[in-house]
Amino acid sequence: MKKLKLKELESFLQHVEEFEHPKLLFEQYATRPHIAACMLHTIHNTFDDIENKVVADLGCGCGVLSIGSVMLGAGLCVGFDIDADALEIFSKNAEEFELTNIDMIQCNVCSLATTMSKTFDTVIMNPPFGTKHNKAYSKESR
């Protein structure tokens, strides 16, 4: 596989479809291509934790980090998200990029925490930009 430069990866990730109607309950927001590319490029080049690795993308949403991981040579990337609508967008994105070593699972990622380190080489997720709603949600759900 050709080694992608940071700007090449960012350019590819600009074509990933994002949420049209993000859900506040799930704090859905797009990870911008620049942030995703920088993050993945660092994980790949500094720590060698992408190429030929089994990668989990927690709260994968539309799949930008999963797609970027596969483009950097991940052996397999599995995206996990609770929202079926997000996974539908992710699936369309994976098809558009013609990726075969990518999968997605609908579930609550909190229930997977204990098995992550046994199954996956690398675990990635969007930077936690928003936490205000989580605090409000946790109070409501008591």
Can you give the residue ranges of every domain in the chain?
Answer: 6-124
pLDDT value for 3? 82
According to DSSP H, which parts of the chain are helical? 6-13, 33-47, 64-71, 84-96, 116-119, 132-140
DSSP symbol at 51 = B
- Which amino acid is residue 134, in one-letter code? N
Going along the chain, which residue ranges are E strands? 54-58, 76-81, 102-106, 122-125
pLDDT for 14:
96
Average pLDDT, the chain: 86
Fold of 6-124: Rossmann fold (3.40.50)
The token duo for 70 is 């596969």
Q: What is the pLDDT of residue 130?
A: 56
- Which regions of the chain are under pLDDT 50? 133-134, 136-142
What's the confidence (pLDDT) of residue 132?
Answer: 54
Here the tokens at position 55 are 């990668």
CA distances from 81 to 39, 51, 87, 114, 116 (A): 20, 23, 7, 17, 14
